[in-house]
Amino acid sequence: MSDGVTGRLGVLGGGQLGRMTGLEGRPLGVEFRFYDPSSEAAAKQLGELVVGDFDDLEALRRFADGVDVVTYEFENVPVASAEFLAERVKVFPPPVALAKTQDRLIEKQFLFDLGIPVAPFRAIEDLPSLQKAVAAIGLPAVLKTRTLGYDGKGQVVLRTQADVERAWAALHGRPLILEQFVPFDQEASIVGVRGQSGTAFYPLVANIHRDGILHVTRAPGGLSAALQAAAAGHLNKLFDAFGYVGVCTIEFFVVGESLVVNEVAPRVHNSGHWTIEGAATSQFANHVRAVLGLPLGSTQALGASAMVNIIGALPRVADLLALDGVYVHLYGKRPRPGRKLGHVTIAHLSEIETERRLADVLAIVDGTR
């Protein structure tokens, strides 16, 4: 601390999550070093950037040298790489959290064993095992790749028997899982944080996806106190099971007054971006605090908020900023179809004004696509 530096944090992944972690962590006196395969990573210029593949142990060694703690913004870092780093420096969240969440089959089994509700699922080895699983689970169901799926990629919904072979043709060749399709009323997620002495949970938020990508988050999500408590309880079980340190997110399907876990992200999450303006402490600041052993900040919402993702094409920033209560976050990425380029937060307005402003923002953002 004598040099004015609170801590030196290495972040695996230099995308927008790393960038926002840097923007929120630097005021705390934290120095950042990012690790990314691309020299054009979005987090560039918020700290040093080490370029390397996630399995390049020599580059990872250089990355770890001189940082106090390593964390990640990208959950598909190879577990072996995280463990290699953990022999040299503190790694938070612990690599076991990666090991249990990178593969949907392992994740589902792990959640099931903890007593956390998941949809019925089966491992799929071949077409007969898929047919057998469809018979057991029923239709509709979703066939998914076990690894590396995100934003709706690597998934096919099966509604009729005719879909079974089509889905197999589309995805076979990779390890697969079949899950019962959950007839959800809505989607929700909870972001929580476990520090070295305590936990804190943000409000359960309501999410709307489009083309498999998060489109809109409303925070708080208007869900019952019972659902909030259940969601926090599930996340707390994971915290304990992993000996977790940092921010973690669970995405849920809401069915009536019950929750079914969709997936776990052992990191800051797109559905928590509203916390930058909308909560007393942002998910990014709380992640930095947790992994560096600093006290956690309040997760209280400052009022109603909403978040809209900017995907594929950029709206005119001036049109958005002309609206009261609207905050624009661009990630410095070149537009490309389906790419997350930024997000817009609506905050500090009343609940009804927030809804109206959300409609205005959607008109501008969707008009751009």
Applying CB under 8 A, which residues contact its own copies? Answer: 1-6, 23, 26-29, 31, 45-47, 280, 289, 293-295, 297-298, 300, 302, 314, 316-318, 321-322, 324-325, 327-335, 341-342, 348
Contacts of 126 (CB under 8 A, 6+ apart): none
Element of type H or E holding 129:
helix 127-137
Q: From the CB of 305, what's the least distance to its own copies, in Å?
A: 13
HEC letters along 322-351: CCCCEEEEECCCCCCCCCEEEEEEEEEECH
Closer residue to its own copies (CB): 95 or 342? 342
Closer residue to its own copies (CB): 287 or 333? 333
Q: From the CB of 75, what's the least distance to its own copies, in Å?
A: 24
Q: From the CB of 61, what's the least distance to its own copies, in Å?
A: 23
Closer residue to its own copies (CB): 202 or 252? 202
Q: From the CB of 325, what's the least distance to its own copies, in Å?
A: 7
Closer residue to its own copies (CB): 3 or 113? 3
Closer residue to its own copies (CB): 123 or 314? 314
Nearest CA among 233, 258, 215 for reference residue 119: 258
E-state strands within the chain: 7-12, 30-36, 48-51, 69-72, 90-91, 121-124, 141-145, 155-158, 176-180, 186-195, 198-201, 205-210, 213-219, 246-255, 258-265, 304-311, 326-330, 340-349
Distance separating alpha carbons of residues 12 and 75, to the nearest angstrom:
9
Q: From the CB of 326, what's the least distance to its own copies, in Å?
A: 8
Phi/psi class of residue 256: alpha, beta or left (left: φ > 0; alpha: ψ in -120 to 50)?
Answer: left
Q: From the CB of 274, what's the least distance to its own copies, in Å?
A: 13
Closer residue to its own copies (CB): 69 or 238? 69
Distance separating alpha carbons of residues 322 and 315, to the nearest angstrom:
13
Distance separating alpha carbons of residues 25 and 2, to the nearest angstrom:
18
Q: From the CB of 179, what's the least distance to its own copies, in Å?
A: 36
Closer residue to its own copies (CB): 123 or 330? 330
